[in-house]
Amino acid sequence: MTIKIVAAATAPQGYPPADAADIASTLVAPSNFLAQLGPEYYAALLDIATVQHFGKGDFVFRAGAPGSNVYFLRSGKVKIHQLSPLGREIILWFCFSGEIFGLAEVARGGGRVVNAQACEASEVLAVPQEKFRDFLERNPRLAMLSMQVLSSRLRVLGEMFVNLVADDVSTRVAKLILRLSARYGTRVGKEVFLNIPLTHQEIADMVGTSRQTVTSVLSSLKRQGVLSIDNRRIHIESEELLNELTHGS
């Protein structure tokens, strides 16, 4: 074991803040658990899993329930959220096809602290806690993958937290849209289509504001020609402009 004294570091700081491209590169990869899985692992996973179906609005699990399963979303969309004491719904994130959820409480043991609710008809694989644990112990590579997923979540949540503290509402909305489009958007030339229907209320719940404020921020963005919205789906017309709104100013 080497002993090393590190000199006081009042080093020049000022690393550039993460921008959309950076976020995309680090976020897209680890989020899709099933896709990262080799076919042999996938088969093994199927062996210990149960297929379950949920309709729009159904809860996969609720806060307070024992966290007895890990879930993999095969199709559909699931919303992970928490209720504030006042009954306000706070959305932590959405899960899309291929993603894992419910992992944290299984690793930690203890009950759920969040709710998982299907936003549309969804098919999930449910794997009992102990089986999944065994599975990971036998396949260390998968344990690493799980850690990556947790780490990504942690990073995203940390970023959301910082945004919430530091930015005003319009900046938060802009950043949310950029984050979502980096992960789930389809890029067509300079434009980006975000094929996820979102109500103003949901955006408000993700960003920590009131519905009315979201309405006004969005109409301001439309007026500036930054984006348009069709049938609840956001269509970014000028990503550059949107980026400017989040960075400087």
Residue from 63, 169, 229, 241 binding a second copy (CB under 8 A): 63
* Least distance CB 147 / DNA (angstroms): 35
d(CA 214, CA 163): 16
One residue of 24, 32, 208, 228 binding a second copy per CB under 8 A: 208
Of 91 and 106, nearer to DNA (C-beta) is 91
What strand order describes the sheet that includes 122-128?
Answer: 50-54, 122-128, 69-75, 100-101
Say how far apart CA 193 and CA 233 lie, in whole Å.
8
Residues 48/142, Cβ–Cβ less than 8 Å: no
CB of 220 to DNA, least distance (A): 9
Q: Which is nearer to a second copy, 25 or 190 (CB)?
A: 25
Please give the angle made by the CA atoms of 139, 145 and 147, to the nearest 5 degrees: 110
Q: List the single partner that 190 binds among DNA, a second copy, none, CB under 5 to 8 Å by kind.
A: none
Q: Long-range contact list for 48-53, CB < 8 A, 24+ apart?
A: 48/127, 48/128, 48/131, 48/132, 48/135, 49/125, 49/126, 49/127, 50/125, 50/126, 50/127, 51/123, 51/124, 51/125, 51/126, 52/123, 52/124, 52/125, 52/126, 53/121, 53/122, 53/123, 53/124
- Residues near DNA (CB under 7 A) are 1-3, 168-170, 198-201, 208-213, 215-216, 218-219, 229, 231-232
Residue among 77, 87, 63, 104 nearest 180 (CA)? 77
The smaller minimum CB distance to DNA, of residues 152 and 201, is found at: 201
Q: Min. distance of Cβ 219 from DNA in angstroms?
A: 4
**Total site size for a second copy, rule CB under 8 A:** 90
Work out what residue 82 binds among a second copy, DNA, none; the CB cut-off runs from 5 to 8 Å by kind: a second copy
Residue of 68, 129, 148, 213 interacting with a second copy (CB under 8 A): 148
241 interface partner picked from DNA, a second copy, none, CB below 5 to 8 A per type? none
Antiparallel, parallel or unpaired: β 59-61 and 185-188: unpaired
- Closer to DNA by CB, 25 or 210: give it: 210
**Which CB sits closer to DNA, 37 or 214?**
214
Site for a second copy in 122-141 (CB under 8 A): 133, 136-138, 140-141
205 vs 239, which CB is nearer to DNA? 205
